[in-house]
A and B are shown apart, each in its own frame.
Chain A
Amino acid sequence: MSEPITGPAGDWRSYVQNMEELAARCGMNFHPVEFEAVPDTFMMEIAVYGLPVRMPHWSFGVRYIYQLIQRNMGNSRLFEVVFPGNPGHAYLSNGNGMAENVLVTAHVLGHADFSRNNLLFRRCQEQVSEHIVEHAASHARQISQAIETHGPQRVEAALDAALALEQHIDIDQRLRRERYPEFLPDPKALVDDDFRRRFASLDPVAAHGVFETKKRAPVPPHPERDLLWFIAHYAPEMESWERDIFLAVREESFYFYPVFATQIMNEGWASYWHARLLREADFIPPEAYVDAIKCHSDVVRPMAADQQVALAVNPYHLGFSLWEKIIEQQGLEAARRIMQEDDDFGFVRNHLTREMAEELELFRFTARNDGQIKVMDRDLHGLHEALLAPKYNFGAPNIAVSKLGNDGALELEHDHVTDGRGIDVDRSRKVLEYIHRVWRRPVTLHTVDQGGAALALASQ
């Protein structure tokens, strides 16, 4: 596209400050961002791991190879990766041209605005802290130490289980949760009458024995969806370093959740702002502006240039279009409020209207196992659900701990009613094996089979 970065002077970096000032004038409100240009290879790793430094695990190696193949086939190109925080961290590809980087800078500021103000992000950052990048690096260090002390096999077994359950957290609970109360509140202790007072005054020890026997509360007291937390705290034979691994993975999941659950909004918001900031940035040379706008339309286009129909919705395009419409019809202030309060569920349901769906030419299709793809309808409710279905529950089946046996046996219950069908049996067995290796007592999962009959899968 345009000339590559040649040195610190006269390149995109000289526009960063202007861009930040312009963004602030437009009412955007963000923590400072540290920009760093890195080689493409490192960009790719950040995309694979989700964080600049993260714990080692072979499954990342698999994703890495897929990325490498994709990149070699020229299918994907990464311009930037941003990590929210105070300060935020933005990594830009060394391969970006000057104009691309101007655009990317504006885009990054959009993300920074979003992550500082969106409720879900704020809530998670309050708990995980604003330094997830540093935390993840310290988890990685902690795990390398565990490998040195306990050997790679044992650490890998713990990571196999913990990472397999990474989506199974309960975002409505706090990151740092207390264990369940050990005893049930004693109803008798609350009764306070003359007889009891008299009895107690006669023999305090006996009275204590008779009236204040505490009852152990069942564990868990209610179906527990945070599998990582439950296993870390209630596994009968886990070692403390293994529990730490579970908690480290869980903390990273708390960080990943808002990124996952606001993708359409967040990418749309950043795209809206890079387009708008670019329009208003009089400090950019005109030829860079043209290049940057070309890059913008590549990013937010709904489908490849030579296609009539796309079988997936580009979140950049969808989010961008919805934000444009909202701001056009309701003004920026209303849009900022929506940006603060919603996640993708509310955003799509409330703002992907009949008219918008028609304007964007969205349709619902069915894909048969044999590869046939057929357009179904343009029903709005159907579109909402089909767009959001992969996002429910962090994209994982609803599974909760239902019972912890006296012998330490773990029972999991799959909520097949909510999910609408049973579970992939072969994969689930493997996951149960992962869990069993750290839980070290029997593990059972209850779900339904193809015909809807109850089905219990057990470890081993």
Chain B
Amino acid sequence: MTASSDDSSSLGLARWYDLFSRGARDWLRHDEKVREAVREHLPKIIANGDVINDSARSVRVPVRMLEHYHFRLRNPGDSQGVGQGEAKPGDVLADGNPDRGSEKGEGGDGDGGIQLMLEIKIDDIVDWLWEEMQLPNLKARVGPSDDSDWVREGWDRRGARSRLDRRRSVKELVKRQGLGGPKTFTDEDLRFRQLARRRQPAVHAVVFFMLDVSGSMSDRDRKLAKTFFFWVVQGLRREYRSLETVFVAHTTEAWEFAEGDFFQVTGTGGTVASTGLNKVREIIDARFSPARHNIYLFYASDGDNSIGDHAPAKEALDDIATKACFSGYVEVASGLSRQLATETGRLFGDAAADGAPVASYVIDDFDGVWGAVRHFFNAEAKALG
């Protein structure tokens, strides 16, 4: 009945609750669940154009705390309560705010709905994307090189001294001690890292991003294109150990740009797609042999190409199609979508009809970016499969 006096500090002993927080543990599990939930809204995240900062390796996504649901009565229009203090019937203690009504109705749990910012690694998103789309592994046209590499794989009880995994070995010791074995290391406890030889996927790839920067392309169009390109790079990086990127912008002329400048470029005047396509051709011929590189081309435009350019552009595209694994045309039409019934749309449509590895897609808004990524990578997988 007396108060216990085993004060932790006086005995110099830590109690279990000093070392371990259940609340934190369960909070971490909540955090994981939020991530899973966010994952289900992947298209939305991808649609978020602000996600892409050149150097950012993560994305911040606002999320709500999860609610563990219980059966509850429907929210009554008015609720009643009991208060205490100097007040007469008819007194108004708080004024109504007509704006609040709608806000409160939808699932607000009355806790003021704390918002969290969740930081998600771009790599994770790409992982999810890949699983989500269940893409057959993209096959490289240029066969795998002979490159192979040693990778770590599993543990064994025997091995070279240099591969001894100390942490793992101590674990074994502890396990055995738990079963009442001797307290010193024996050979039985030692664990060595094993290596296995793994073939590396195709190594060299180059992706051309070609952007129409003519006067008709609005800022929004350019941003749509940029978002799309961003995810394409992420996707291809996954497949190729060394991925080079080449950025080409064109109006009636074409230029190669560094990535940093590429999206800032604004041009004026008309659109002659063949200039851009020829520039790509030139660069391929000069720097990337199709025999040693897997070549990709993605072209973003609003579709307005000058009428007279059809033949030269077709010729250039056909030539590229023989050298590239895949060419994609994405029509960014934030203003009015003509569903590829444009000059450039026809150009790529014709090439596809000829059986070239070419596909087209329209992006009207940011939500469409997801569809585009999915479309191209499935199409590409098919074209190569």
A60 at the B interface (CB under 8 A): yes
A199 at the B interface (CB under 8 A): no
B107 at the A interface (CB under 8 A): yes
Partner-contacting stretch, out of A124-132, A255-263, A326-334, A416-424:
A416-424
- Encoded as 1 (CB less than 8 Å from any B CB) or 0, chain A from 37 to 67 comes to 1110110110011000010111111101111
Which residues of B sit under 8 angstroms from A399, Cβ to Cβ? 71
- Encoded as 1 (CB less than 8 Å from any B CB) or 0, chain A from 399 to 418 comes to 10000000000000010000
Contact of B84 among A41, A57, A156, A310 (CB under 8 A): A310
Cβ A386 vs Cβ B69 within 8 A: no
Interface residue SS majority, chain A: mixed
- Encoded as 1 (CB less than 8 Å from any A CB) or 0, chain B from 289 to 318 comes to 000000000000000000000000000000
Cβ A44 vs Cβ B69 within 8 A: no
- Encoded as 1 (CB less than 8 Å from any A CB) or 0, chain B from 15 to 49 comes to 10110011111111111010000000000000000
Interface residues of B in 191-230 (CB under 8 A from A): none
Task: Give A24 to B71 CA distance when docked, in angstroms.
Answer: 44
Cβ A368 vs Cβ B82 within 8 A: no
With both beta carbons as reference points, the residue of chain B lying nearest to A445 in the complex is identified as B71
Cβ A310 vs Cβ B83 within 8 A: yes
Cβ A375 vs Cβ B83 within 8 A: yes
Cβ A371 vs Cβ B95 within 8 A: yes
Task: Give the number of chain B interface residues (Cβ < 8 Å).
Answer: 63
Query: Closest CB-CB distance, B373 to chain A, in whole Å?
Result: 29
Contact of A373 among B4, B18, B94, B111 (CB under 8 A): B94
Cβ A303 vs Cβ B84 within 8 A: yes
A7 at the B interface (CB under 8 A): yes
Which residues of A sit under 8 angstroms from B5, Cβ to Cβ? 8, 13
Cβ A431 vs Cβ B69 within 8 A: yes
B137 at the A interface (CB under 8 A): no
A372 at the B interface (CB under 8 A): yes
Interface residues of B in 67-87 (CB under 8 A from A): 67-87
Contact of A61 among B23, B85, B114 (CB under 8 A): B23
Task: Give A54 to B17 CA distance when docked, in angstroms.
Answer: 13
- Encoded as 1 (CB less than 8 Å from any B CB) or 0, chain A from 128 to 164 comes to 0000000000000000000000000000100010011
Task: Give A314 to B259 CA distance when docked, in angstroms.
Answer: 64
Given the known A-B contacts A310-B84, A421-B74, are A13 and B3 also in contact in the complex, defined by CB atoms under 8 Å?
yes
Which residues of A sit under 8 angstroms from B68, Cβ to Cβ? 57-59, 62, 160, 163-164
Interface residues of A in 331-380 (CB under 8 A from B): 360-378
A69 at the B interface (CB under 8 A): yes
Cβ A422 vs Cβ B74 within 8 A: yes
Which residues of B sit under 8 angstroms from A414, Cβ to Cβ? 71
Which residues of B sit under 8 angstroms from A454, Cβ to Cβ? none
- Encoded as 1 (CB less than 8 Å from any A CB) or 0, chain B from 79 to 104 comes to 11111111111111111111011001
Partner-contacting stretch, out of A28-36, A185-193, A278-286, A288-296:
A28-36
Which residues of A sit under 8 angstroms from B2, Cβ to Cβ? 16-17
A26 at the B interface (CB under 8 A): no
With both beta carbons as reference points, the residue of chain B lying nearest to A168 in the complex is identified as B71
Task: Give A62 to B82 CA distance when docked, in angstroms.
Answer: 28
- Encoded as 1 (CB less than 8 Å from any B CB) or 0, chain A from 166 to 198 comes to 011000000000000000000000000000000
* Contact count band on A: 35 or more
Query: Closest CB-CB distance, A281 to chain B, in whole Å?
Result: 16
A78 at the B interface (CB under 8 A): no
Query: Closest CB-CB distance, B91 to chain A, in whole Å?
Result: 4
Query: Closest CB-CB distance, B263 to chain A, in whole Å?
Result: 39
Cβ A421 vs Cβ B26 within 8 A: no
Query: Closest CB-CB distance, B92 to chain A, in whole Å?
Result: 5
Which residues of A sit under 8 angstroms from B90, Cβ to Cβ? 374-375
Which residues of A sit under 8 angstroms from B353, Cβ to Cβ? none
Cβ A34 vs Cβ B83 within 8 A: no
Query: Closest CB-CB distance, A460 to chain B, in whole Å?
Result: 15
Given the known A-B contacts A376-B89, A426-B107, are A365 and B69 also in contact in the complex, defined by CB atoms under 8 Å?
no
Query: Closest CB-CB distance, A332 to chain B, in whole Å?
Result: 23
Question: Which of B15, B69, B93 has the most A CB atoms < 10 Å from its CB?
Answer: B69
Contact of B82 among A56, A387, A397 (CB under 8 A): A387
Query: Closest CB-CB distance, A302 to chain B, in whole Å?
Result: 5
Cβ A397 vs Cβ B73 within 8 A: yes
B105 at the A interface (CB under 8 A): yes
Which residues of A sit under 8 angstroms from B31, Cβ to Cβ? 61
Cβ A360 vs Cβ B84 within 8 A: yes
A309 at the B interface (CB under 8 A): yes
Query: Closest CB-CB distance, B366 to chain A, in whole Å?
Result: 27
Which residues of B sit under 8 angstroms from A313, Cβ to Cβ? 82-84
Cβ A366 vs Cβ B79 within 8 A: yes
Which residues of B sit under 8 angstroms from A210, Cβ to Cβ? none
Task: Give A61 to B34 CA distance when docked, in angstroms.
Answer: 12
Interface residues of B in 2-17 (CB under 8 A from A): 2-5, 7, 10, 15, 17
Task: Give A458 to B83 CA distance when docked, in angstroms.
Answer: 39
B336 at the A interface (CB under 8 A): no
Cβ B22 vs Cβ A56 within 8 A: yes
Question: Which of B24, B28, B66, B83 has the most A CB atoms < 10 Å from its CB?
Answer: B83
With both beta carbons as reference points, the residue of chain A lying nearest to B27 in the complex is identified as A61
Query: Closest CB-CB distance, A218 to chain B, in whole Å?
Result: 24
Query: Closest CB-CB distance, A38 to chain B, in whole Å?
Result: 7
Which residues of A sit under 8 angstroms from B65, Cβ to Cβ? 62, 65
Task: Give A421 to B85 CA distance when docked, in angstroms.
Answer: 30
B1 at the A interface (CB under 8 A): yes
Task: Give A416 to B34 CA distance when docked, in angstroms.
Answer: 34
Which residues of A sit under 8 angstroms from B80, Cβ to Cβ? 364-367, 376, 386, 389
24 A-B contact pairs sorted by A residue (CB < 8 Å): A8-B7, A56-B22, A58-B33, A58-B68, A59-B30, A61-B24, A62-B66, A62-B67, A156-B29, A167-B70, A309-B83, A310-B84, A311-B81, A313-B84, A364-B83, A365-B81, A369-B101, A369-B104, A375-B88, A375-B93, A383-B82, A386-B82, A397-B72, A421-B73
7 additional A-B pairs beyond A308-B86, A396-B70, A423-B73, beta carbons within 8 Å, are: A45-B22, A58-B66, A61-B31, A366-B78, A369-B100, A397-B73, A431-B69
